[in-house]
Amino acid sequence: MTQHAVRDEFAAPGSNAGAGSNSGVRDLYDGLTNWQLWSMLGWNDIHQRYRRSALGPFWITISMVIFIVLLGFIYSRLFHQDLAVYLPYIAMGLIAWGFISGTTVEACGIFVENAGIIRQIRLPYSIYAMRMIWRGFIVFLHTVILIIPIAIFFHMDIGLNSLLAIPGMFLVVLNQIWVSIVVGIFSTRFRDIAQLVGTAIQILMFATPIMWPISALSNAQFIADINPFYHLIQLVRAPLLGGTAEPLSWIVVLAMCVVGYGLAALALSRASRRLVYWL
């Protein structure tokens, strides 16, 4: 098959390689409307990953429990925090961070891992990002159930405010979709990006108020306010702890979504005709 034939095959109307400035927007729309496909693929990924496993994804829940308990006891002493207050704080932070960091790192390979499908079937590129995000969200649901035993054990006063975690998590998921598309495209073009993302995520874990409370450090509020990951985590963590996220966090995350989807549409428009050659 000649290069021109390959280009024509992947540039058919409605395919990955739609032409024009609207091709990125069209790709996002087509990916969203094909929710049955990416949700089925995501479920299948989970099934295949934990095939023949007795506990399946609940192994992640068990490992998260051990991690939270150990860090809770150690860091509560380091920061001189009451364990009954600090352990729920770090638990909710790590659960939200696990979804954000996990999907960001996995995004580096969403197109490379699906190279065989991309070369043979014309599908919106955004489908591969949504498939991975859905898979990560299923794993998240297996860890977020930890709030129940934690709330019972520490007698947490959780009211109707906790329901705000639902729209908060919805915004986090929306944010991670565009992040995955942008990171996935750049990682496919420049393979070193995956290493940079992995290193950056490790550094940001310690630079974000996940394991350290803002009240324990001076000038920590300024560090938190300029950290977008803090605002993402707060939309989920604050309601689950019985409080509410500050308006600034909602504004920052909403602004990230608006700007981010513009970047994702632009990246898809620019890369749609070239991405298949980068695989």
> Across the chain, what does the average pLDDT equal?
86
Reading the block at residue 177, the tokens are 């979709």
Amino acid sitting at position 89 = Y
Using the structure block, give the residue that is written with the tokens 């939309």. Answer: 235
How many domains does the chain fold into? Answer: 1
Q: Are 229 and 206 in contact (CB under 8 A)?
A: no
Reading the block at residue 115, the tokens are 């190279």
Q: Is residue 111 in a domain?
A: yes
Using the structure block, give the residue that is written with the tokens 């034939």. Answer: 5
Q: Is residue 7 in a domain?
A: no
Greatest mean pLDDT among 34-38, 148-152, 175-179: 175-179
Structural domain of residue 183, as residue ranges?
A: 20-278
Q: Is residue 268 in a domain?
A: yes
Q: Which long-range contacts (CB under 8 A, 24 or more apart) does 199-205 make?
A: 201/101, 201/104, 201/105, 204/101, 204/229, 205/97, 205/101
The predicted model gives 247-266 an average pLDDT of 95
pLDDT at 105: 95
| Digit-coded pLDDT (tens) for 161-200 | 888 999 999 999 999 999 999 999 999 999 899 999 999 9
Question: What is this structure's pTM?
Answer: 0.86
Angle at 101 between CA 99 and CA 107, to 5 degrees: 95
pLDDT at 54: 64
Tell me how far apart the alpha carbons of residues 9 and 31 are, in angstroms, rounded to a whole number: 19
The predicted model gives 98-108 an average pLDDT of 95
Q: Is residue 6 in a domain?
A: no
Dihedral over alpha carbons 14, 17, 19, 24 (to 10 degrees): 80
The predicted model gives 62-66 an average pLDDT of 87
Q: Is residue 1 in a domain?
A: no
The predicted model gives 194-213 an average pLDDT of 91
Q: Is residue 164 in a domain?
A: yes
Q: Is residue 59 in a domain?
A: yes
